[in-house]
Amino acid sequence: MPLLVDCSNCKTPLQLPPGANSIRCAICHAITRIHHDPRSLPPGPPPPHSFYPPPPPPPHRAPVVPPSSYHGALTPPPIAGRKKAVIIGITYRKSRYELKGCINDAKCMKFLLMNRFKFPETEILMLTEEERDPHRIPTKENIRMAMAWLVAGCRAGDSLVFHFSGHGSQQRNYNGDEVDGYDETLCPLDFVTKGMIVDDEINDTIVKPLPPGAKLHAIIDACHSGTMLDLPFLCRMNGSGQYVWEDHRPRSGRWKGTSGGEVFSFSGCDDDQTSADTSALSKVTSTGAMTYCFIQAIERGHAGTYGNMLNAMRAAIRNTDTSSGGGVVTSLLTMLLTGGSGAGLRQEPQLSSNEGFDVYRKPFSL
């Protein structure tokens, strides 16, 4: 489309052909040379004697941020996401399944998230028997609502944490999506009357909805918790720190991963093991062995990568002397229901994820 330029002598508007560097005025015959591409300059107002009507006013548009605002970046800078956490500690007071250290675990985890990882207190939902709000008592319905709240509105950049300290158990799997034939379960405060929360539901609620760019860390301090989130891959690590990712994708083809986000689960033990509720680690008060070792690994600088984190937790539990503190295993529920037994700290913390990765290269961060 021809462009208008003013004659350098008589200021008559001239139609400049596309690509031309000069033009001769038909009125005064002066030659006007174009030293800059006029397409890169904003058009000026037409002269009073122009034969062309003035252009219509441009439509209203939102302001455009110039590329220079990105300081040369090809894409806009990432948006800082929110930090949200659900923390659950259940002692099952005044019941045959009573534990001692689970509320201590919840309080310690909240302190860690707020002070070490800068989680806002307003974005931490605590469920324990000590809460006065009836919606924060760790019943089955309240735990379900808390899990839904955790992922509600989740978007890229968000960091979510789900921590549970209490009883865990197993039940027979009938749909063929478990390698060992058992579903893992969390035991809410009212599990005797309302039932347990099965790993399939946990996966559906907080794993599958996770969008690209978001991440979730689960810390499950309970028995039979190795695959409590039903994630596709479990890190099998030996005593020397060598590891392989074990494929736990169900043969049925049912997808157990995310919608693009990252999920990492640290659990207190393997699916066929028990987790301890003991004073042998802190020497002061009862805690869940796994929660205590998880926090200590971070505080002592052993959490640079996921592999270092897992090794530090396992070493701390393996080297624990239970002769003075004693260990009350959180599998008391299982022992009462199945007649099993357990003693000491014979648990091995586990790491599972929605995908395999190099555990010694990927930095750990909540």
Q: What is the pLDDT along the chain (366 residues), one digit of tens a residue?
A: 456 677 777 666 666 666 677 777 766 677 877 764 433 344 444 444 443 444 455 444 444 333 333 333 344 455 579 999 999 999 999 999 999 889 999 999 999 999 999 999 999 999 999 999 999 999 999 999 999 999 999 999 999 999 999 999 998 887 777 777 788 999 999 999 999 999 999 999 999 999 999 999 999 999 989 899 999 999 999 989 999 999 998 877 788 999 999 999 999 888 888 776 655 455 556 677 889 999 999 999 999 999 999 999 999 888 875 544 444 444 434 433 333 334 445 789 999 999 999 999 999 999
338 with 288, same domain: the answer is yes
Start-to-end CA distance of the chain, whole Å, equals 57
Tell me how many domains the chain contains.
2
**Tokens in use for 117?**
């990882």
**9 to 4, 21, 25: CA distances (angstroms):** 15, 17, 9
Verify that 200 and 293 share a domain, yes or no.
Answer: yes
Element (DSSP H or E) covering residue 217: strand 215-221
- Are 306 and 351 contacting, i.e. CB atoms less than 8 angstroms apart? yes
Query: Same structural domain for residues 153 and 288?
Result: yes
CB 291 within 8 A of CB 267: no
- Considering the domain boundaries, does residue 277 fall inside one? yes
- Phi, psi of 358, deg, nearest 5: -80, 105
Is position 62 within any domain? no
* Residue 300 resides in a domain: yes
Token duo for residue 231: 């994630």
Q: What angle do CA 174, 198, 341 make, to 5 degrees?
A: 90
Task: Note whether 124 and 185 are same-domain residues.
Answer: yes
Query: How crowded is residue 175: how many other Cβ atoms within 10 Å of its Cβ?
Result: 10
What global pTM score does this model have? Answer: 0.73
How far from 5 is each of 30, 41, 83, 134, 254, CA to CA, in Å? 13, 11, 57, 76, 67
Residue 73 lies in a domain: no
Instruction: Give the model's pLDDT for residue 289.
Output: 84
Q: Is residue 23 within 8 Å of 12, Cβ to Cβ? A: no
Q: State the Cα–Cα distance between residues 326 and 217, nearest whole angstrom.
A: 30
Its domain, for residue 1, covers 1-49
What gap in Å lies between CA 267 and CA 24, rounded to an integer?
Answer: 82
Q: Same domain, yes or no, for 158 and 99?
A: yes
Query: Residue 63 domain-assigned?
Result: no
Query: Would you state the pLDDT for residue 69?
Result: 35
Residue 281 covered by a domain: yes
- Distance in angstroms (rounded) separating the CA atoms of residues 140 and 131: 15
Distance from C-alpha of 158 to C-alpha of 347, rounded to nearest angstrom: 32
Judgement on whether residues 45 and 99 belong to the same structural domain of the protein: no
Are 183 and 251 part of one and the same domain? Answer: yes
Residue 107: helix, strand or coil by DSSP? helix
Residues 97 and 162 in one domain: yes
| Set 108, 223, 235, 293: catalytic member | 223
Q: How many CA atoms lie within 13 A of 343 on its CB side?
A: 2
Is residue 168 included in any domain, yes or no? Answer: yes
Choose the catalytic residue: 163, 167, 224, 302. 167
- 167 is known as an active-site residue: yes
CATH number of the domain residue 342 falls in: 3.40.50.12660
Q: Taking the mean position of all CA atoms in its chain, how far away is CA 238?
A: 27
Note whether residue 109 is domain-resident.
Answer: yes
pLDDT at 221: 94
Looking at the structure, do residues 207 and 162 belong to the same domain, yes or no?
yes
